[in-house]
Amino acid sequence: MRHPLPRPIRSGKLALASWPVFGGLVVAFLLVIPSGAGAQQPIRIGEVNSYTGIAAGFTLPYRQAVEMAVEEINAGGGLLGRRVEVLFRDDKGNPAEAITHAQELVFGEKVALLAGTFLSNVGLAVSDFARQNKVLFVAAEPLTEALTWSRGHRYAFRVRPNTHSQGRMLAERAAKLPYKRWAVIGPNYEYGRRAWETFWARLKELKPDVQLVGEHWPTLGKIEPGGYITALLSQQPQAVYVSLFGSDWIAFAREASKRGLFQKAFFVGILLGEPEYMEPLKLEAPEGMLVTGYPWYDIQAPAHKDFVAKFQKRADRTPVVGSLVGYLTFQSIFEAIRKAGSTDTEKMVAALEGLKVETPIGPISFRPFDHQSTMGAWVGTTKLDARRGGGIMVNWEYVPGEKVLPSEAEVRKMREAAQ
């Protein structure tokens, strides 16, 4: 249940004239309200995200964790003596809608910064708005490499490991497998294609004799899986790389299972070990896939166990990776404001560069030269767990971001090439 912030006391004819008996008490109460911190306006943060549509399985638990983080900070006295208030806006997966919200939040609501976004094209649009208007933007989820590299700038930071990082993690495991004939299926937009390109580039470095036998790029949110599965069966790949997610993945997985595709090819799936995309399939989830994901049920770190317990109590559900990302994103924002001692944009940017944040999965930091966080990802294989009633990740390892991120010199080359 969301707990609303208290409404401010408003002046007007109703305030005392309507309550003659209590008028003196009200005046006395108003007179003893302390000036200073208690009377300051809240710190307002604009949160733009895809709360409806294909991303909802990620973003609704994300929002619950954001609200939990805000409740915790306010219960402890807020930041800089001020309460924190988050203004949520639904971009509906549309870059133009996201920009409309960003304009209203920055120029109308006077938020201190922008946060969030899910889809890569939406994240890039908000990032460009932030650059043009010199507004801090802390991107939570959009995974395109461009956000912090080729199109990176002073005012954009990102929390999650991007397509480059997760693609390299998967490629380094896939290169040890015997498969040479590969196919790919993913959504036809920035994230889907970049997720494949970075995986394939690294796989070819490690295993030069691999071959691409088929590429398939359905429109995001509109997949008709039958034709794609027929094509994959005819191409006879030994392995298939998947960057589908949400309802697209669920529809594809169910049809592929019926037609035996999972028995005829090995599957590698970026993100597909995440509970958001495993839980809806229940016992239909495919086994033996190589995936990145979030095995929250097996992470034994005390801080993470505490996070899981708090989230379950508040949300009445188990966490998904969206929950974790939402919590980490706002932990990072709060720590940056605390370190800056201000909500001045330039001071917050300076505070975020090199900032170290203690999180439920251990410390992460924001690299000063590209603003990418060092949050890592979990890599493992999928397995059905009858006790849990669905798929889980097994044989997993957590790969820190530092192990797969490019150097400062490499980032500089990417930005120079883009210009």
* Tens-digit pLDDT profile for residues 48-77: 999 999 999 999 999 999 999 999 999 999
- Statement: residue 205 has pLDDT above 70: yes
Cβ-proximal residues to 300 (8 Å cutoff; 6+ apart), any chain: none
- Tell whether 125 and 222 lie within a shared domain: no
How many other β-carbons are positioned within 10 Å of the β-carbon of residue 358? 11
Strands of the sheet with 43-49, listed across from one edge: 84-90, 43-49, 113-116, 137-139, 156-158
**What's the pLDDT band for 19 if we cut at 50, 70, 90?**
very low
**What's the pLDDT band for 419 if we cut at 50, 70, 90?**
confident
- Tell whether 247 and 391 lie within a shared domain: yes
Mean pLDDT of the chain: 91
101 assigned to some structural domain? yes
Q: Can you tell me the mean pLDDT for 203-224?
A: 97
16 assigned to some structural domain? no
- Tell whether 393 and 252 lie within a shared domain: yes
**Which pair of tokens denotes residue 105?**
């939040």
Give, in order, the Cα–Cα distances in Å from 310 to each of 76, 84, 304, 314: 16, 20, 10, 6
Contact 405, 372 (CB under 8 A): yes
233 assigned to some structural domain? yes
What is the per-residue pLDDT for 3? 38
10 Å CB burial of residue 46 (0-12, 13-18, 19+) is: buried
**Predicted TM-score (pTM) above 0.85:** yes
Nearest partner of 245 among 202, 203, 182, 292, judged by Cα = 292
- Tell whether 188 and 144 lie within a shared domain: no
Range of the domain at 137: 39-162+300-374
Q: Can you tell me the mean pLDDT for 217-236?
A: 97
32 assigned to some structural domain? no
- Tell whether 260 and 328 lie within a shared domain: no
- Tell whether 339 and 328 lie within a shared domain: yes
How many other β-carbons are positioned within 10 Å of the β-carbon of residue 33? 9
- Tell whether 146 and 190 lie within a shared domain: no
Which amino acid is residue 200, in one-letter code?
Answer: W
- Tell whether 200 and 334 lie within a shared domain: no
384 assigned to some structural domain? yes
pLDDT digits (tens, 9 = 90+) for 142-161: 999 999 999 999 999 999 99
399 assigned to some structural domain? yes
In angstroms, the CA 373 to CA 342 distance is 22
pLDDT digits (tens, 9 = 90+) for 269-283: 999 999 999 999 999
- Tell whether 107 and 146 lie within a shared domain: yes
389 assigned to some structural domain? yes
**What's the pLDDT band for 21 if we cut at 50, 70, 90?**
very low
- Tell whether 126 and 176 lie within a shared domain: no
**What's the pLDDT band for 40 if we cut at 50, 70, 90?**
confident
Number of domains in the chain: 2
- Tell whether the torsion through CA atoms of 74, 76, 77 and 80 is positive or negative: negative
CATH number, domain of 130, equals 3.40.50.2300
